[in-house]
Amino acid sequence: DVKVTQSSRYLVKRTGEKVFLECVQDMDHENMFWYRQDPGLGLRLIYFSYDVKMKEKGDIPEGYSVSREKKERFSLILESASTNQTSMYLCASSLLTSGKETQYFGPGTRLLVL
Amino acid sequence: GENVEQHPSTLSVQEGDSAVIKCTYSDSASNYFPWYKQELGKRPQLIIDIRSNVGEKKDQRIAVTLNKTAKHFSLHITETQPEDSAVYFCAASSGNTGNQFYFGTGTSLTVIP
């Protein structure tokens, strides 16, 4: 059974702080994704990675960066948190193989930036 | 890039009635269409998916239909139950780099007992 975990369920940070959100998957998936979820806007892709040290911008990368040093771990970094980054952050992973592209989600991190 | 639109944004049905959620997509290269269910406070989970070589797929009370010509696909839930209450997301993917999914904005379904 696929397991995707995220480092925190809830996080409160102050404006200007550097924030690290971590995601770990245990199914040897090549692809990993970071989304933010806001009411009425659905799931918007921030960044994704299809291999170690590889990253691709999604639809809303501004204000975020990512790191993938190991296959199982994908980190989202908010270099200087702002109040408009208050949101639910969801990590997901999937295989690269065509026909097996189902994305499996982590439980989410609800971030509040004060 | 791909643009996925989802309607309605909210839907209330009486228990036992059917619910239909519709999505349209813009990229004719999209060939995989999953549906996710997200219960309150929980992670999105895949409930059904369909590929572009199939027009309809059923799994017990849920079904998905795909019209490639019109570029739309729909989720059908029959005999709705209170536990079907959740937010449902559609998505489209063309299998390009990273198998990126493009999600709709979600439908909040409430089943009234």
Please state which of the ranges A93-102, B28-37, B79-88 shows the lowest mean pLDDT. A93-102
Alpha carbons A43 and B44: distance in angstroms, whole number: 10
B33 versus B98: the higher-pLDDT residue is B33
Question: Does A6 contact chain B (CB < 8 Å)?
Answer: no
According to the model, what pLDDT value does residue B98 have? 61
According to the model, what pLDDT value does residue A1 have? 66
User: Which chain B residue has its CA at the smallest distance from A44's CA?
Assistant: B103
According to the model, what pLDDT value does residue A86 have? 98
To which residue do tokens 């797929």 refer? B57
According to the model, what pLDDT value does residue A22 have? 97
Question: Does A31 contact chain B (CB < 8 Å)?
Answer: yes
SS3 content of chain B, % helix, strand, coil (to 5): 5, 55, 40
Mean pLDDT of A20-27: 96
Question: Does A49 contact chain B (CB < 8 Å)?
Answer: yes
According to the model, what pLDDT value does residue B99 have? 75
The shortest CB-CB distance from B100 to any of A42, A48, A104 is to A48
Phi, psi of A35 (to 5 degrees): -120, 155
Interface touch A105/B97, C-beta < 8 Å: no
Tell me: the pLDDT tens digits for A29-62? 999 999 999 988 999 999 999 999 899 999 999 9
Residue A76 has pLDDT above 70, yes or no: yes
Alpha carbons A11 and A18: distance in angstroms, whole number: 12
First to last CA, chain A: 37
DSSP helix/strand/coil, B83: helix
Alpha carbons A29 and A91: distance in angstroms, whole number: 13
Tell me the Cα Rg of chain B.
14
